[in-house]
Structure 1
Amino acid sequence: MALLEVRGLVKRFGGNTAVDDIGFDLHEGELLALIGPNGAGKSTTFNMVGGQLPATRGSVKLQGTELLGMPSRKIARLGVGRSFQIAATFPSLTVLENVQTALIAHRRKVYSFWRSARDLYVQEARALLQQVGMSEQATRPCKELAYGDVKRVELAMSLAGSPRLLLMDEPTAGMAPAERNALVGLVKKLVRERNMAVLFTEHSMDVVFAYADRVIVLARGQLIAQGSVEEVRRHPKVQEVYFGTGRSFQDANKETLP
Protein backbone atom coordinates (compact mmCIF):
# COMPACT_ATOMS: atom_id res chain seq x y z
CA MET A 1 0.00 0.00 0.00
CA ALA A 2 1.29 3.45 -0.92
CA LEU A 3 1.89 5.98 1.85
CA LEU A 4 0.19 8.72 -0.18
CA GLU A 5 -2.58 8.06 -2.71
CA VAL A 6 -3.86 10.91 -4.88
CA ARG A 7 -6.88 10.18 -7.06
CA GLY A 8 -8.97 12.34 -9.43
CA LEU A 9 -7.68 15.62 -8.05
CA VAL A 10 -9.40 18.64 -9.59
CA LYS A 11 -9.19 22.36 -8.84
CA ARG A 12 -11.30 24.99 -10.56
CA PHE A 13 -11.07 28.76 -10.13
CA GLY A 14 -14.33 30.00 -11.56
CA GLY A 15 -14.42 28.76 -15.15
CA ASN A 16 -10.70 27.94 -15.22
CA THR A 17 -9.58 24.39 -14.48
CA ALA A 18 -6.10 24.67 -12.95
CA VAL A 19 -5.74 20.94 -12.14
CA ASP A 20 -7.66 18.32 -14.04
CA ASP A 21 -8.04 14.73 -12.80
CA ILE A 22 -4.53 14.13 -11.44
CA GLY A 23 -3.57 10.91 -9.68
CA PHE A 24 -0.36 9.34 -8.39
CA ASP A 25 1.10 7.26 -5.55
CA LEU A 26 4.07 7.92 -3.27
CA HIS A 27 5.76 5.19 -1.22
CA GLU A 28 7.91 5.20 1.90
CA GLY A 29 11.60 5.67 1.16
CA GLU A 30 10.86 7.44 -2.13
CA LEU A 31 11.80 10.88 -3.46
CA LEU A 32 9.16 11.96 -5.99
CA ALA A 33 9.63 15.08 -8.13
CA LEU A 34 6.64 17.09 -9.39
CA ILE A 35 7.69 19.14 -12.41
CA GLY A 36 6.22 21.11 -15.27
CA PRO A 37 6.50 24.49 -17.02
CA ASN A 38 5.10 27.67 -15.48
CA GLY A 39 1.33 27.47 -15.16
CA ALA A 40 1.30 23.67 -15.26
CA GLY A 41 -0.57 23.34 -11.96
CA LYS A 42 2.36 22.21 -9.79
CA SER A 43 1.84 24.67 -6.94
CA THR A 44 -1.91 24.16 -6.99
CA THR A 45 -1.51 20.38 -6.77
CA PHE A 46 1.15 20.72 -4.08
CA ASN A 47 -0.99 23.04 -1.97
CA MET A 48 -4.06 20.80 -2.21
CA VAL A 49 -2.03 17.82 -0.98
CA GLY A 50 -0.72 19.88 1.97
CA GLY A 51 -4.09 21.35 2.92
CA GLN A 52 -3.28 24.98 2.06
CA LEU A 53 -5.83 24.96 -0.78
CA PRO A 54 -9.21 23.19 -0.93
CA ALA A 55 -9.81 20.84 -3.84
CA THR A 56 -12.87 21.02 -6.09
CA ARG A 57 -12.97 17.23 -6.29
CA GLY A 58 -10.82 14.18 -5.68
CA SER A 59 -9.09 12.27 -2.92
CA VAL A 60 -5.76 12.57 -1.10
CA LYS A 61 -5.15 9.76 1.37
CA LEU A 62 -2.27 9.25 3.79
CA GLN A 63 -2.22 5.54 4.66
CA GLY A 64 -5.96 5.37 4.10
CA THR A 65 -6.86 8.60 5.94
CA GLU A 66 -8.54 11.21 3.77
CA LEU A 67 -6.71 14.56 3.98
CA LEU A 68 -8.97 16.69 1.80
CA GLY A 69 -11.04 19.01 3.95
CA MET A 70 -8.62 18.84 6.88
CA PRO A 71 -6.90 22.04 8.05
CA SER A 72 -3.16 22.05 7.39
CA ARG A 73 -2.34 21.98 11.12
CA LYS A 74 -4.25 18.71 11.54
CA ILE A 75 -2.53 17.25 8.48
CA ALA A 76 0.80 18.12 10.10
CA ARG A 77 -0.24 16.19 13.24
CA LEU A 78 -0.75 13.10 11.07
CA GLY A 79 2.93 13.17 10.09
CA VAL A 80 3.14 15.54 7.12
CA GLY A 81 6.00 18.06 7.20
CA ARG A 82 6.44 21.07 4.92
CA SER A 83 9.17 23.39 3.72
CA PHE A 84 8.72 26.46 1.55
CA GLN A 85 10.31 28.29 -1.39
CA ILE A 86 11.40 31.11 0.91
CA ALA A 87 12.98 29.70 4.06
CA ALA A 88 10.62 30.06 7.03
CA THR A 89 13.05 30.61 9.90
CA PHE A 90 13.29 33.24 12.65
CA PRO A 91 16.31 35.40 11.70
CA SER A 92 16.94 36.83 15.18
CA LEU A 93 16.91 33.42 16.91
CA THR A 94 19.91 31.14 16.95
CA VAL A 95 20.04 28.01 14.82
CA LEU A 96 19.38 25.89 17.93
CA GLU A 97 16.49 28.08 19.08
CA ASN A 98 14.82 27.82 15.68
CA VAL A 99 14.79 24.02 15.91
CA GLN A 100 13.67 24.14 19.55
CA THR A 101 10.77 26.38 18.49
CA ALA A 102 9.72 23.82 15.87
CA LEU A 103 9.88 21.00 18.44
CA ILE A 104 7.80 23.02 20.93
CA ALA A 105 5.18 23.74 18.25
CA HIS A 106 4.93 20.12 17.09
CA ARG A 107 4.64 18.80 20.62
CA ARG A 108 2.20 21.54 21.62
CA LYS A 109 4.25 22.23 24.72
CA VAL A 110 3.03 24.97 27.02
CA TYR A 111 5.78 26.57 29.06
CA SER A 112 5.62 29.13 31.85
CA PHE A 113 7.65 32.18 32.80
CA TRP A 114 9.31 30.00 35.44
CA ARG A 115 10.85 27.74 32.84
CA SER A 116 12.55 29.26 29.83
CA ALA A 117 11.78 27.86 26.41
CA ARG A 118 15.55 27.73 25.90
CA ASP A 119 15.65 24.77 28.30
CA LEU A 120 13.24 22.66 26.25
CA TYR A 121 14.26 19.89 23.83
CA VAL A 122 17.90 20.95 23.67
CA GLN A 123 19.27 17.47 23.02
CA GLU A 124 16.58 16.65 20.46
CA ALA A 125 17.31 19.92 18.63
CA ARG A 126 21.04 19.24 18.62
CA ALA A 127 20.42 15.74 17.23
CA LEU A 128 18.40 17.18 14.33
CA LEU A 129 21.12 19.75 13.62
CA GLN A 130 23.66 16.94 13.57
CA GLN A 131 21.61 15.16 10.92
CA VAL A 132 21.61 18.19 8.62
CA GLY A 133 25.24 19.14 9.23
CA MET A 134 24.55 22.32 11.22
CA SER A 135 25.56 21.35 14.77
CA GLU A 136 28.72 23.49 14.71
CA GLN A 137 26.66 26.60 13.97
CA ALA A 138 24.03 25.98 16.64
CA THR A 139 24.71 29.22 18.56
CA ARG A 140 24.74 31.54 15.54
CA PRO A 141 21.69 33.70 14.73
CA CYS A 142 20.03 32.58 11.49
CA LYS A 143 20.41 36.08 10.03
CA GLU A 144 24.19 35.53 9.92
CA LEU A 145 24.03 32.34 7.87
CA ALA A 146 24.55 31.79 4.17
CA TYR A 147 21.28 31.00 2.41
CA GLY A 148 22.20 27.36 1.84
CA ASP A 149 22.74 26.93 5.57
CA VAL A 150 19.42 28.63 6.34
CA LYS A 151 17.73 26.01 4.14
CA ARG A 152 19.45 23.28 6.16
CA VAL A 153 18.06 24.81 9.36
CA GLU A 154 14.59 24.86 7.79
CA LEU A 155 15.03 21.20 6.89
CA ALA A 156 15.88 20.38 10.51
CA MET A 157 12.76 22.29 11.60
CA SER A 158 10.58 20.38 9.16
CA LEU A 159 11.90 17.12 10.64
CA ALA A 160 10.91 18.16 14.18
CA GLY A 161 7.55 16.41 13.87
CA SER A 162 9.14 13.13 12.67
CA PRO A 163 7.19 13.31 9.40
CA ARG A 164 6.31 10.23 7.39
CA LEU A 165 5.75 12.52 4.40
CA LEU A 166 7.72 15.70 3.69
CA LEU A 167 6.43 18.24 1.17
CA MET A 168 9.16 20.50 -0.23
CA ASP A 169 8.15 23.43 -2.43
CA GLU A 170 11.08 24.52 -4.63
CA PRO A 171 13.65 23.60 -1.93
CA THR A 172 16.62 24.85 -3.99
CA ALA A 173 15.15 28.18 -5.14
CA GLY A 174 17.76 30.93 -4.95
CA MET A 175 20.65 28.54 -4.37
CA ALA A 176 23.88 28.11 -6.31
CA PRO A 177 24.36 24.78 -8.16
CA ALA A 178 26.73 23.32 -5.55
CA GLU A 179 24.34 24.27 -2.73
CA ARG A 180 21.38 22.76 -4.62
CA ASN A 181 23.09 19.42 -5.06
CA ALA A 182 24.31 19.34 -1.46
CA LEU A 183 20.83 20.03 -0.06
CA VAL A 184 18.91 17.55 -2.21
CA GLY A 185 21.63 14.94 -1.71
CA LEU A 186 21.15 15.39 2.03
CA VAL A 187 17.37 15.06 1.66
CA LYS A 188 17.78 11.82 -0.27
CA LYS A 189 20.07 10.46 2.46
CA LEU A 190 17.47 11.32 5.12
CA VAL A 191 14.71 9.70 3.04
CA ARG A 192 16.65 6.44 3.14
CA GLU A 193 17.64 6.68 6.81
CA ARG A 194 14.18 7.63 8.05
CA ASN A 195 12.20 5.62 5.49
CA MET A 196 10.02 8.66 4.90
CA ALA A 197 8.60 9.90 1.61
CA VAL A 198 9.28 13.25 -0.05
CA LEU A 199 7.21 15.04 -2.67
CA PHE A 200 9.03 18.07 -4.07
CA THR A 201 8.56 20.63 -6.81
CA GLU A 202 11.68 21.77 -8.62
CA HIS A 203 12.69 23.86 -11.63
CA SER A 204 16.28 22.59 -11.86
CA MET A 205 16.22 19.55 -14.13
CA ASP A 206 19.80 18.73 -13.10
CA VAL A 207 18.61 18.25 -9.52
CA VAL A 208 15.52 16.28 -10.56
CA PHE A 209 17.40 13.88 -12.81
CA ALA A 210 20.25 13.40 -10.33
CA TYR A 211 18.21 12.64 -7.20
CA ALA A 212 14.55 11.81 -7.85
CA ASP A 213 13.46 8.17 -7.71
CA ARG A 214 10.43 8.93 -9.86
CA VAL A 215 9.05 11.97 -11.66
CA ILE A 216 5.53 13.17 -12.45
CA VAL A 217 5.07 15.85 -15.10
CA LEU A 218 2.19 18.30 -15.41
CA ALA A 219 1.27 20.56 -18.33
CA ARG A 220 -1.78 22.84 -18.48
CA GLY A 221 -3.21 21.21 -15.39
CA GLN A 222 -2.97 17.65 -16.66
CA LEU A 223 -0.61 14.81 -15.85
CA ILE A 224 1.23 14.03 -19.10
CA ALA A 225 3.88 11.57 -17.88
CA GLN A 226 5.12 9.72 -14.82
CA GLY A 227 7.80 7.12 -14.24
CA SER A 228 11.51 6.74 -13.66
CA VAL A 229 13.94 9.53 -14.46
CA GLU A 230 14.98 7.86 -17.70
CA GLU A 231 11.39 7.18 -18.77
CA VAL A 232 10.43 10.81 -18.22
CA ARG A 233 13.63 12.20 -19.74
CA ARG A 234 12.93 10.30 -22.99
CA HIS A 235 9.17 10.88 -23.05
CA PRO A 236 8.33 12.70 -26.34
CA LYS A 237 5.46 14.66 -24.81
CA VAL A 238 7.68 15.93 -21.98
CA GLN A 239 10.38 16.97 -24.45
CA GLU A 240 7.79 18.76 -26.54
CA VAL A 241 6.40 20.65 -23.54
CA TYR A 242 9.83 21.79 -22.40
CA PHE A 243 11.59 22.37 -25.72
CA GLY A 244 9.14 22.05 -28.61
CA THR A 245 9.66 19.39 -31.24
CA GLY A 246 13.08 18.21 -32.36
CA ARG A 247 15.05 18.74 -29.13
CA SER A 248 15.65 16.76 -25.97
CA PHE A 249 17.10 17.11 -22.49
CA GLN A 250 20.27 15.48 -23.81
CA ASP A 251 20.57 18.16 -26.51
CA ALA A 252 20.03 20.92 -23.96
CA ASN A 253 22.73 19.47 -21.72
CA LYS A 254 25.20 19.33 -24.61
CA GLU A 255 24.60 22.99 -25.37
CA THR A 256 25.62 23.99 -21.82
CA LEU A 257 28.95 22.14 -22.02
CA PRO A 258 32.09 24.31 -22.55
Structure 2
Amino acid sequence: MSVLSVRGLTKTFGGIKAVSDVSFDLEKAEFLALIGPNGAGKTTCFNMLNGYLRPDAGSVKLDGTELVGIRPRKVWRMGVGRTFQITETFASMTVRENVQMALISHHRQTLDITHRARALHVAEADALLARVGMAADADRATSELAYGDLKRLELAVALAHRPKVLLMDEPTAGMAPSERIALMALTGDIIKAEGVSVLFTEHDMDVVFTHAHRILVLNRGRLIAEGTGAEIRANAEVQAVYLGGGSVFHGEAGGAHG
Protein backbone atom coordinates (compact mmCIF):
# COMPACT_ATOMS: atom_id res chain seq x y z
CA MET A 1 0.00 0.00 0.00
CA SER A 2 1.19 3.51 -0.80
CA VAL A 3 2.04 5.76 2.14
CA LEU A 4 0.05 8.63 0.61
CA SER A 5 -2.76 7.99 -1.86
CA VAL A 6 -4.42 10.94 -3.63
CA ARG A 7 -7.52 10.48 -5.76
CA GLY A 8 -9.58 13.01 -7.74
CA LEU A 9 -8.29 16.05 -5.84
CA THR A 10 -10.15 19.16 -7.01
CA LYS A 11 -10.26 22.78 -5.82
CA THR A 12 -12.02 25.75 -7.42
CA PHE A 13 -11.59 29.45 -6.63
CA GLY A 14 -14.14 31.83 -8.11
CA GLY A 15 -14.99 29.52 -10.97
CA ILE A 16 -11.34 28.76 -11.78
CA LYS A 17 -10.18 25.22 -11.17
CA ALA A 18 -6.84 25.57 -9.42
CA VAL A 19 -6.55 21.79 -9.14
CA SER A 20 -8.62 19.45 -11.27
CA ASP A 21 -9.04 15.70 -10.67
CA VAL A 22 -5.43 15.07 -9.58
CA SER A 23 -4.53 11.51 -8.58
CA PHE A 24 -1.19 9.99 -7.62
CA ASP A 25 0.55 7.76 -5.07
CA LEU A 26 3.62 8.37 -2.93
CA GLU A 27 5.48 5.21 -2.00
CA LYS A 28 7.53 4.54 1.12
CA ALA A 29 11.01 6.12 0.94
CA GLU A 30 10.21 7.74 -2.41
CA PHE A 31 11.59 11.13 -3.49
CA LEU A 32 8.73 12.44 -5.66
CA ALA A 33 8.87 15.80 -7.46
CA LEU A 34 5.84 17.92 -8.35
CA ILE A 35 6.68 20.48 -11.04
CA GLY A 36 4.83 22.85 -13.35
CA PRO A 37 4.74 26.44 -14.62
CA ASN A 38 3.64 29.38 -12.49
CA GLY A 39 -0.02 28.99 -11.55
CA ALA A 40 -0.02 25.26 -12.24
CA GLY A 41 -1.65 24.49 -8.88
CA LYS A 42 1.32 23.05 -6.98
CA THR A 43 0.92 25.08 -3.79
CA THR A 44 -2.86 24.58 -3.78
CA CYS A 45 -2.26 20.86 -4.08
CA PHE A 46 0.20 20.94 -1.17
CA ASN A 47 -2.25 22.91 0.96
CA MET A 48 -4.92 20.26 0.47
CA LEU A 49 -2.58 17.39 1.32
CA ASN A 50 -1.91 18.63 4.84
CA GLY A 51 -5.33 20.10 5.61
CA TYR A 52 -4.63 23.81 5.06
CA LEU A 53 -7.31 23.79 2.35
CA ARG A 54 -10.31 21.51 2.08
CA PRO A 55 -10.79 20.13 -1.44
CA ASP A 56 -14.10 20.49 -3.23
CA ALA A 57 -13.77 16.84 -4.20
CA GLY A 58 -11.33 14.00 -3.85
CA SER A 59 -9.54 11.88 -1.29
CA VAL A 60 -6.17 12.04 0.50
CA LYS A 61 -5.26 8.92 2.47
CA LEU A 62 -2.26 8.36 4.71
CA ASP A 63 -1.66 4.63 5.22
CA GLY A 64 -5.30 4.09 4.29
CA THR A 65 -6.71 6.73 6.67
CA GLU A 66 -8.66 9.60 5.11
CA LEU A 67 -7.18 13.04 5.82
CA VAL A 68 -9.78 15.24 4.12
CA GLY A 69 -11.72 17.16 6.75
CA ILE A 70 -9.05 16.76 9.44
CA ARG A 71 -7.45 19.91 10.86
CA PRO A 72 -3.84 20.64 9.85
CA ARG A 73 -2.45 20.12 13.35
CA LYS A 74 -3.96 16.65 13.58
CA VAL A 75 -2.74 15.81 10.06
CA TRP A 76 0.72 16.85 11.23
CA ARG A 77 0.43 14.64 14.32
CA MET A 78 -0.63 11.74 12.10
CA GLY A 79 2.67 12.01 10.23
CA VAL A 80 2.52 14.62 7.46
CA GLY A 81 5.28 17.21 7.94
CA ARG A 82 6.10 20.24 5.84
CA THR A 83 8.85 22.72 5.11
CA PHE A 84 8.16 26.03 3.41
CA GLN A 85 9.70 28.14 0.64
CA ILE A 86 10.35 30.86 3.23
CA THR A 87 11.93 29.30 6.31
CA GLU A 88 9.85 29.28 9.48
CA THR A 89 12.21 29.34 12.45
CA PHE A 90 12.46 31.37 15.66
CA ALA A 91 15.18 33.96 15.05
CA SER A 92 15.32 34.94 18.72
CA MET A 93 16.24 31.39 19.80
CA THR A 94 19.39 29.35 19.42
CA VAL A 95 19.62 26.61 16.83
CA ARG A 96 19.19 23.92 19.50
CA GLU A 97 16.22 25.70 21.07
CA ASN A 98 14.38 25.69 17.74
CA VAL A 99 14.65 21.92 17.59
CA GLN A 100 13.80 21.57 21.27
CA MET A 101 10.57 23.52 20.72
CA ALA A 102 9.61 21.10 17.94
CA LEU A 103 10.40 18.13 20.19
CA ILE A 104 8.41 19.60 23.09
CA SER A 105 5.44 19.91 20.75
CA HIS A 106 5.97 16.40 19.38
CA HIS A 107 5.98 14.97 22.90
CA ARG A 108 2.84 17.02 23.73
CA GLN A 109 4.55 18.97 26.48
CA THR A 110 3.50 22.39 25.20
CA LEU A 111 1.43 23.12 28.32
CA ASP A 112 3.84 21.55 30.79
CA ILE A 113 5.09 24.46 32.89
CA THR A 114 6.80 22.32 35.53
CA HIS A 115 10.02 22.08 33.53
CA ARG A 116 12.34 24.63 32.02
CA ALA A 117 12.11 24.26 28.26
CA ARG A 118 15.87 24.57 27.77
CA ALA A 119 16.44 21.40 29.83
CA LEU A 120 14.10 19.25 27.73
CA HIS A 121 15.20 16.87 24.95
CA VAL A 122 18.72 18.27 24.69
CA ALA A 123 20.31 15.00 23.56
CA GLU A 124 17.54 14.33 21.05
CA ALA A 125 17.83 17.85 19.64
CA ASP A 126 21.60 17.51 19.31
CA ALA A 127 21.20 14.16 17.53
CA LEU A 128 18.86 15.76 14.99
CA LEU A 129 21.24 18.65 14.46
CA ALA A 130 24.06 16.17 13.89
CA ARG A 131 21.82 14.39 11.37
CA VAL A 132 21.64 17.55 9.25
CA GLY A 133 25.28 18.54 9.78
CA MET A 134 24.68 21.35 12.27
CA ALA A 135 25.94 19.92 15.56
CA ALA A 136 28.65 22.58 15.80
CA ASP A 137 26.03 25.34 15.47
CA ALA A 138 23.74 24.22 18.29
CA ASP A 139 24.45 27.20 20.54
CA ARG A 140 24.45 29.83 17.80
CA ALA A 141 21.68 32.38 17.51
CA THR A 142 19.39 31.41 14.66
CA SER A 143 19.43 35.03 13.48
CA GLU A 144 23.14 34.62 12.63
CA LEU A 145 22.70 31.68 10.28
CA ALA A 146 23.27 31.83 6.55
CA TYR A 147 20.23 30.97 4.43
CA GLY A 148 21.44 27.49 3.55
CA ASP A 149 21.94 26.69 7.24
CA LEU A 150 18.42 27.94 7.99
CA LYS A 151 17.10 25.44 5.47
CA ARG A 152 19.00 22.63 7.18
CA LEU A 153 17.68 23.75 10.57
CA GLU A 154 14.14 23.75 9.19
CA LEU A 155 14.71 20.18 8.02
CA ALA A 156 15.85 19.16 11.53
CA VAL A 157 12.72 20.80 12.98
CA ALA A 158 10.53 18.90 10.52
CA LEU A 159 12.24 15.60 11.38
CA ALA A 160 11.62 16.22 15.09
CA HIS A 161 8.00 15.29 14.45
CA ARG A 162 9.05 11.93 12.95
CA PRO A 163 6.97 12.32 9.80
CA LYS A 164 5.95 9.46 7.55
CA VAL A 165 5.51 11.97 4.71
CA LEU A 166 7.42 15.22 4.32
CA LEU A 167 6.12 17.93 1.99
CA MET A 168 8.93 20.26 0.90
CA ASP A 169 7.75 23.43 -0.83
CA GLU A 170 10.60 24.69 -3.04
CA PRO A 171 13.30 23.56 -0.60
CA THR A 172 16.21 25.11 -2.51
CA ALA A 173 14.62 28.51 -3.28
CA GLY A 174 17.10 31.32 -2.70
CA MET A 175 20.05 29.00 -2.21
CA ALA A 176 23.38 29.00 -3.98
CA PRO A 177 24.03 26.05 -6.35
CA SER A 178 26.41 24.32 -3.93
CA GLU A 179 23.86 24.70 -1.09
CA ARG A 180 21.13 23.20 -3.28
CA ILE A 181 23.24 20.16 -4.05
CA ALA A 182 24.13 19.67 -0.38
CA LEU A 183 20.55 20.02 0.93
CA MET A 184 19.01 17.65 -1.61
CA ALA A 185 21.79 15.09 -1.13
CA LEU A 186 21.17 15.28 2.63
CA THR A 187 17.44 14.79 2.11
CA GLY A 188 18.15 11.79 -0.10
CA ASP A 189 20.33 10.28 2.62
CA ILE A 190 17.55 10.76 5.19
CA ILE A 191 15.05 9.07 2.88
CA LYS A 192 17.34 6.04 2.56
CA ALA A 193 18.23 5.86 6.25
CA GLU A 194 14.85 6.55 7.81
CA GLY A 195 12.31 5.59 5.15
CA VAL A 196 10.61 8.99 5.05
CA SER A 197 8.58 9.63 1.90
CA VAL A 198 9.16 13.08 0.38
CA LEU A 199 7.02 15.07 -2.06
CA PHE A 200 8.69 18.29 -3.17
CA THR A 201 8.07 21.18 -5.53
CA GLU A 202 11.06 22.82 -7.17
CA HIS A 203 12.02 25.51 -9.70
CA ASP A 204 15.48 24.16 -10.48
CA MET A 205 15.16 21.39 -13.05
CA ASP A 206 18.72 20.21 -12.44
CA VAL A 207 17.69 19.49 -8.84
CA VAL A 208 14.54 17.69 -10.00
CA PHE A 209 16.18 15.45 -12.59
CA THR A 210 19.19 14.71 -10.41
CA HIS A 211 17.35 13.73 -7.23
CA ALA A 212 13.73 12.75 -7.92
CA HIS A 213 12.90 9.08 -8.21
CA ARG A 214 9.76 10.03 -10.11
CA ILE A 215 8.22 13.28 -11.39
CA LEU A 216 4.66 14.62 -11.59
CA VAL A 217 3.89 17.53 -13.92
CA LEU A 218 0.95 19.88 -13.34
CA ASN A 219 -0.36 22.42 -15.83
CA ARG A 220 -3.40 24.62 -15.21
CA GLY A 221 -4.41 22.40 -12.32
CA ARG A 222 -4.31 19.18 -14.31
CA LEU A 223 -1.80 16.36 -14.02
CA ILE A 224 -0.40 16.02 -17.54
CA ALA A 225 2.51 13.63 -17.02
CA GLU A 226 4.00 11.21 -14.52
CA GLY A 227 7.12 9.11 -14.77
CA THR A 228 10.87 8.84 -14.47
CA GLY A 229 13.18 11.66 -15.47
CA ALA A 230 13.78 10.05 -18.87
CA GLU A 231 10.04 9.67 -19.48
CA ILE A 232 9.33 13.29 -18.52
CA ARG A 233 12.15 14.59 -20.74
CA ALA A 234 10.67 12.73 -23.71
CA ASN A 235 7.04 13.77 -23.09
CA ALA A 236 5.81 16.03 -25.89
CA GLU A 237 3.13 17.76 -23.80
CA VAL A 238 5.63 18.57 -21.04
CA GLN A 239 8.03 19.99 -23.62
CA ALA A 240 5.23 22.18 -24.97
CA VAL A 241 4.34 23.46 -21.49
CA TYR A 242 7.96 24.47 -20.93
CA LEU A 243 8.36 26.02 -24.41
CA GLY A 244 10.95 28.77 -24.13
CA GLY A 245 12.65 26.95 -21.27
CA GLY A 246 12.83 23.55 -22.93
CA SER A 247 16.62 23.42 -22.60
CA VAL A 248 16.17 22.31 -18.97
CA PHE A 249 15.06 18.94 -20.29
CA HIS A 250 18.44 18.45 -21.92
CA GLY A 251 20.58 18.97 -18.83
CA GLU A 252 20.91 22.77 -18.71
CA ALA A 253 20.18 24.81 -15.61
CA GLY A 254 17.47 27.43 -15.16
CA GLY A 255 14.57 28.04 -17.50
CA ALA A 256 11.45 26.53 -15.95
CA HIS A 257 9.68 28.09 -13.02
CA GLY A 258 6.43 27.21 -11.28
TM-score range, shorter chain: over 0.9
1:107 equivalenced with 2:104 (yes/no): no
Q: Is the 8 A contact 1:239 1:248 kept in 2?
A: no
- Runs of 4+, deviation exceeding 6 Å: none
Take 2:162 and 2:251, find their aligned partners in 1: how far apart are those partners?
39
Q: Is the 8 A contact 1:51 1:75 kept in 2?
A: yes
Partner of 2:94 in structure 1? Answer: 94
Partner of 2:187 in structure 1? Answer: 187
Partner of 2:80 in structure 1? Answer: 80
1:253 equivalenced with 2:257 (yes/no): no
For residue 122 of structure 1, what is the amino acid of its counterpart? V
Q: How do 1:1-258 and structure 2 match up within 5 A?
A: 1-109=1-109, 110-112=111-113, 114-243=114-243, 247-250=246-249, 253=252
Please state how far the C-alpha of 1:229 moved relative to its aligned partner. Answer: 1.1
Take 1:195 and 1:24, find their aligned partners in 2: how far apart are those partners?
19
Take 1:94 and 1:41, find their aligned partners in 2: how far apart are those partners?
36
Q: Is the 8 A contact 2:33 2:202 kept in 1?
A: yes
For residue 205 of structure 1, what is the amino acid of its counterpart? M
Take 2:155 and 2:252, find their aligned partners in 1: how far apart are those partners?
30
For residue 112 of structure 2, what is the amino acid of its counterpart? Y
Aligned residues: 254
Q: Is the 8 A contact 2:41 2:219 kept in 1?
A: yes
Please state how far the C-alpha of 1:228 moved relative to its aligned partner. Answer: 0.7
Please state how far the C-alpha of 1:251 moved relative to its aligned partner. Answer: 5.0
For residue 148 of structure 2, what is the amino acid of its counterpart? G
Question: What residue ranges of structure 2 are gaps of 5+ in the alignment?
Answer: none
Percent of aligned positions that are identical: 56
Q: TM-score of the superposition, structure 1-length normalised?
A: 0.95
Q: Is the 8 A contact 1:100 1:122 kept in 2?
A: yes
User: Could you list the per-position Cα deviations for residues 117-159 of structure 1 after superposition, in whole angstroms to 9, with x for gaps in the alignment?
Assistant: 0000000000000100000000001100110001100000000
Question: What residue ranges of structure 1 are gaps of 5+ in the alignment?
Answer: none
Take 1:228 and 1:91, find their aligned partners in 2: how far apart are those partners?
39
